[in-house]
Amino acid sequence: SRNGDEVYFPKNAAETLWLIAKLPYDILHLHIGGNLTFRLLALSLLCCWMPRRKAVLTFHSGGYATSPEGRSASPRTLAGFVLRRFDRIIAVNEEIVDLFRRFGVANDRVYSIKPHAMPARITDTPLPTDLAAFFAARSPALLTVGLLEDEYDLPIQVELLGRLLRDFHQAGLAIIGSGSRESALRALIASKEYASRVLLCGDVPHSATLRSIAQCHIFLRTTLYDGDAISVREALHLGTPVIATDNGMRPQGVRLVPISNLDALEEETRRVISTGMKKNTRQQTGETNLEAVFALYSDLQR
């Protein structure tokens, strides 16, 4: 299916492959986050083999370079073979640039372009009914945006809420995103006496997600490993206080806590609450990264 903006929503792998083969285009730009699984590598190879078309990859998993898989990068791996087939690769930080070099990708094919372009303003897109009700009822309103996967360490946020509710009786936690750990996370939430204070939103349109980030009191980003998360940049841009695990590459303005440290997370959250949860000054917008991507496209079509 597709919407009026020519955005397609394939339901399975077969529909995805059909779209790749049948749609008219000059450049196929693939975006990948998380791990370079066999399935994603197979999809990447197919994209690179499409005749008379150029293939571009943006790899968003900023923390992959320091993961066990990233540290074992080599030209003599399947990932190395596949990645060298792309016409251009965009890395979101210098660690990922170095990673692709270790995979054997030529220097002139790898570009370092930041993944975030901040909106000049928030649109008037209405929030989903459950989210609107959440923000009307909860204070402090905690929010996180990401995948429901193990590396996002979401259970620690559920435990944090339980501790905060001892003193802040109207507190709540909203989680935007989907993933393979949804059932396990729902079971964990259901086991808590404060289950009604946690809202699993599923996937939410980006415009509504930005409104939610702007409206929440504290934005949380707890991960076991992570990169330069776009949602963190968006929260900072919108002036929302951000508490995130320290991965060595968080932007200035983020309140850092150690990985999987509930006590430190609680302490920092209480510190933000004690200051009145004041919004910070919104950061300036900029689209130089988008201009860099368009320049890359133009170069490929010469």
**203 contacts 176 by C-beta, under 8 angstroms:** yes
The pLDDT, as a whole number, for residue 1 is 58
pLDDT in tens, 36-87: 999 999 999 999 999 999 999 999 877 788 788 888 999 999 999 999 999 9
- Say if residue 172 is exposed, middle or buried (CB neighbours under 10 Å; 0-12, 13-18, 19+): buried
> What mean pLDDT is predicted for residues 151-163?
97
> What mean pLDDT is predicted for residues 85-100?
91
Boundaries of every domain in the chain: 13-117+287-300, 129-274
CATH topology identical between 13-117+287-300 and 129-274: yes
Q: Which CATH class is domain 13-117+287-300?
A: alpha beta
The pLDDT, as a whole number, for residue 2 is 62
pLDDT in tens, 206-262: 999 999 999 999 999 999 877 778 899 899 988 999 999 998 778 888 999 999 999
How far from the centroid of its chain's Cα atoms is residue 174's Cα? 16
User: Is the C-alpha dihedral spanning 57, 60, 61, 64 positive or negative?
Assistant: positive
**137 contacts 198 by C-beta, under 8 angstroms:** no
- On the question of pLDDT at 112 being above 80, the answer is yes
Q: Which CATH number fits domain 129-274: 3.20.20.140, 3.40.50.2000, 3.40.50.2300, 1.10.10.10?
A: 3.40.50.2000
